[in-house]
Structure 1
Amino acid sequence: MIGILLITHGTFGESLIQNVCHVLNKRPPLICQLGVAAQDDPLDILPLAKLLLKEVDDGDGVLIMTDILGASPSNLALKLLEQGRIEGVAGVNLPMLLRALTYRNNGIQLIMQKAISGGHDGVTNMQRP
Structure 2
Amino acid sequence: MVGIVLITHGTLGESLMRAAAHTLGKPLEHVEHVSVGAVDIPELVLARVERAMARVDDGGGVLILTDMFGATPANVASRVLQDGRVEGLSGANLPMLVRAIAHRDLPLAVVVEKAQGGGTTGVVYMNRDKCCGER
For 1:31-73, what per-residue CA distance to the aligned partner results, in whole angstroms no more than 9, with x for missing partners? 0000000000111221121111100000110000000000000
Gaps (5+ residues) in structure 2?
none
TM-score normalised according to structure 2 size = 0.93
Q: Could you say what secondary structure the match of 1:35 adopts?
A: strand
Could you tell me the percent identity over the aligned residues? 44
Q: 1:12: which partner in 2?
A: 12
Structure 1: segments with no counterpart, 5+ residues: none
1:25 shift after superposition = 1.8
Runs of 4+, deviation exceeding 2 Å: none
* Matching residue of 2:41: 41
Secondary structure of the residue that 1:125 maps to in structure 2?
coil
Indicate the residue corresponding to 1:67 in structure 2.
67
Residue of structure 1 equivalent to 2:32: 32
TM-score (norm 1): 0.97
Flag the structure with larger Rg.
Answer: 2
Tell me the distance in 2 between the aligned counterparts of 1:4 and 1:122: 19
User: How far does residue 101 in structure 1 lie from its aligned partner after superposition?
Assistant: 0.7
Question: Could you list the per-position Cα deviations for residues 65-122 of structure 1 after superposition, in whole angstroms to 9, with x for gaps in the alignment?
Answer: 0000000000010111111000000000000100111111111111111111101100
Cα shift at 1:16: 0.3
1: CA distance between counterparts of 2:106 and 2:25? 22
